[in-house]
């Protein structure tokens, strides 16, 4: 469950509000920066979300976690949400 502005929203409501925010703040198409943190053993699954697109990967000090950054040309808020939804299906992944 996610909390927005102190009120509980269903997953669909949260994503709809996020899409509206993206549309308000971006002119499509645009370059969009994605940032995630993932357990090291989930790195390949997270990289798969971005297909052949290059990603920047950094290891945590102990190597248990990896930060993944991708800057991609996105055509719509729906395309951005699609990436976040796919990444959220990977256990332990945190979006920033």
Q: What token pair was written down for 43?
A: 């790195």
Cβ neighbours of 56 (radius 10 Å): 10
Q: Which helix (H) or strand (E) holds 86?
A: helix 77-88
Per-residue pLDDT tens digits for 31-41: 999 999 999 99
Please report the domains of the chain, with CATH numbers, ordered by start residue.
30-96 (3.30.70.120)
Per-residue pLDDT tens digits for 12-63: 898 899 999 999 999 999 999 999 999 999 999 999 999 999 999 999 999 9
Q: Is the dihedral of CA 83, 30, 47, 39 positive or negative?
A: negative
SS3 48: helix
């Amino acid at each position: 469950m996610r909390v927005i502005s102190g009120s509980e929203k269903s997953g669909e409501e949260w994503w709809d509000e996020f899409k509206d925010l993206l549309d308000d703040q971006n002119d499509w198409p645009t370059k969009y920066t994605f940032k995630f943190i993932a357990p090291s053993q989930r790195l390949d699954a997270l990289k798969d979300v971005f297909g052949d697109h290059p990603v920047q990967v950094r290891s945590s000090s102990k190597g248990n976690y990896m930060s993944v950054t991708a800057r991609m040309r996105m055509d719509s808020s729906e395309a951005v949400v699609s990436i976040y939804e796919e990444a959220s299906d990977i256990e332990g992944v945190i979006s920033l």
